[in-house]
Structure 1
C-alpha cells in the first residue's frame, strides 16, 4: 500500500488532486502538507475528504501536517505549492519566486524521503522540475513534472471533437515547453490506428487554431473562473496512478533528457517517457525535421531560463 503526500494541499489544485488520488487502489494514506498558520484549513480539508471517503466507502487515511519531516515514507510527493499565475502573467515570470520555494522543499524531501518519486506541478514546470532535481539530489528517474501531459490531453480532445470520434481513438502528444513553444507531434498522431495525415479530412484541420486553443486553454480558464483545477487535478492523479500501479505507460511529462530526442538534451522538458514504480524513463524517438527544429528551439528557450534561475538561486543562497 502507498502513501502520497500533497505539498500545497491548501490550494485548489492540491485539494482536488488529493480527492482524485484517493480513487487509486494502491493508495492507503494521503498526507496534506501546508505552511504554518494554515492548520485550521488543513484540518477542515482533511475532515471534508474523510467525509467524502466515507460516502464512497473508501478506506483511506487522511493526515495533515505543517512539518515537512512528516513526508518521510511517501511513495510519491506532489509539489503544487507556489505563487499562482495571474491572467496576464507568463509562466516563466513566476520562475524565481517559485524556485526558492521548490528548492527548499526538494532539499528536505531528498534527505527524509530518498526513495520517493517527486511530481512537480508548480509553474514554470519545466524549470521547477530542474530545480527539484538539483536540490533533492535524487536520481533523474525519481523527479518529473506535469509538463505537457495535460496539453497532450487537450489536443487529443480537440482532435476527437473535430473528427467526431471517441477520444480513446485518438493518440497524440505534445512535447517541449509547457508553454508557448510547445511542439505538437503530428507525425505521431493517429486516429483509430491510422496516421492522421493519411485521412483526407486532415487537409482541412484548422491546425493553427487548435494549437492556439491548447496554448491558451489554461489562461482562458484562469480568466473565466480564477484558476485551473479539475484538468490539472485529474492529470496529476493519472500520473500518480501510473507510477503506483507500475503501469509502464508512455506519457508525455517533463523529465531530464540526455540524447533521446535527436541528441538534444541536458534539460528537463516535456518528452514521452515510460512510467512505472521505478520512476520515469524518457524513450528514444525520431521526429520529422520541422518538429526537430521546433523542439530544439523549445529546449534552448527552457535551457537558458533554467540556467539563469539555477545560477541566480545559487548566488542568493551563497550570499545568505
Structure 2
C-alpha cells in the first residue's frame, strides 16, 4: 500500500497534483489534508475525482481529512499550503507568512509521519525547503523542494518549439533559485547530442530571449489566467512518482547543500539529484563555466539571506 498526503489539498496546485497522481495509478491512497473549515470542500473534490477515475477504471482511495493522525504511514507528504503569489509579487514577498504555515505543518508531519519523505511546493520553495528541514528535524535526504524541475521542463519545451524538434532530443537543466536567480546551464545543454553552442550556429535560435521568457514564465501565466496550474502540478506529480517507483531518475530539486556543489553551504537550492524511495539518493556534482558558477553562488547568497530572515522570525 502506497499512501501520499497532500497538505493544502483544496488549493489549485494541491487538488491538481492529487488528480494527476491518482490518474498515474501509482498510489493506493491520497489523503486530502485541509484545514477544518475546508474539509467539506476537500470532500467535494474527492467525489468529483472518483467520478472521473471511474471512467478509466482506476481504484485509488481518496481521503479528505483535517486530522493529523491520518498522515500515519504516508510514504510522501507534500506541502502545497500557503499564500499564493499574485501578479507583480515575487516569491520573497511570501516568505515570512508562508514560513509560519510550513513550519507548523512540517513540525506535525515529523510527529505523525516520521518515516515519510517530506516534499515542499510552497513558495519561495528554496526557503521553505530549509524551513521544513529545520522544523521537522528530518535528515536532509528526506526533505525535498520542487526546485527547478518545472523551470527545466519549461526550458526544454522552449528549445523544442523554437526549432521544431522533438523534446526528447533536448537535454537541458536549470539550477539555483526557483525565481529570478535561476541559472540555466547552457554550457552543458545539448540538442540531439550536439552542444548548444554549436547547434545555434546552424539554426535561428534567440537564446537570450528564451531565457528572459523563462524567468518571467510564472508571472506571465498569472497575469493571464490568475495562477499557474498544470505545469507545476504535472512536475510535482512526476517527482512523487519517481520517488514512489524508486526510479533513480536525475531531476533538479531543491536540496540542502553542504558544499556538494559550487562550495555552497547551509542553504537549499535547485540542484541535480538522483531520487529514490529513500529521497535524495545523491546530489550530483556538475560542471559549470565561470559565469554559471558566479550566478549560482549569487543565487545562494540571495536565498540564504531570505532564509535567515525567516528562520529568525520563527526562532529556528
Relative to the length of structure 2, the TM-score reads 0.97
Question: SS of the residue aligned with 2:133?
Answer: helix
- The Cα offsets for residues 235-281 of structure 1, whole Å up to 9 and x where unpaired, read as 01100010001010100011111122132232101000000111013
Distance 2:164 2:47 in 1: 42
Alignment of 1:46 onto 2:60: no
CA contact (8 A) 2:25 2:58 kept: no
Report the counterpart of residue 293 of structure 1 in structure 2.
294
For the 8 Å contact 2:23–2:53, the answer to whether it is kept is no
Q: Which moved more, 1:196-205 or 1:179-188?
A: 196-205
Q: Which residue of 1 aligns with 2:303?
A: 302
Q: Which runs of 5+ in 1 are unaligned?
A: 316-320
Q: Aligned runs of 1:120-199 on 2, under 5 Å?
A: 120-199=120-199
Take 2:224 and 2:95, find their aligned partners in 1: how far apart are those partners? 24
Name the structure 2 match of 1:103: 103
Q: In 2, Cα distance between the equivalents of 1:127 and 1:169? A: 33
- Aligned equivalents of 1:199, 1:18: Cα separation in 2: 39
| Moved >2 Å (runs of 4+) | 23-26, 200-205
Give the deviation of 1:69 after TM superposition: 2.5
What is the aligned partner in structure 2 of residue 311 from structure 1? 312
Equivalent residues of 1:77, 1:119 under 8 A apart: yes
Q: What does residue 26 of structure 2 align with?
A: 26
Q: Distance in 2 between matches of 1:294 and 1:310?
A: 24
> What is the aligned residue count?
315
Distance 1:304 1:261 in 2: 19
1:200 shift after superposition: 4.4
Whether contact under 8 Å (2:177, 2:270) holds in the other structure is yes
Residues in 2 aligned to 1:300 and 1:136: alpha-carbon distance in whole angstroms: 24
Change in CA separation of 1:10 and 1:311 when aligned onto 2, cut-off 3 Å: same
Which stretches in structure 2 are left out of the alignment for 5+ residues?
A: none
Give yes or no for contact 2:155–2:172 (8 Å, CA) kept in 1. yes
- Where 1:152 maps in the other structure, the secondary structure is helix
CA distance in 2, matches of 1:21, 1:262: 34
Spell out, residue by residue over 1:54-73, the C-alpha distance to the aligned partner (whole angstroms, 9 max, x if none).
11100111111011231111
**Superposed CA offset, 1:12-61 (max 9, x none):** 11111101011334300011011011122111011111111111100111
The 2-side partners of 1:201 and 1:75 are apart by: 47
In structure 2, relative to structure 1, the CA distance for the partners of 1:102 and 1:130 (3 Å cut) is same
| Root-mean-square deviation over aligned CA pairs | 1.3
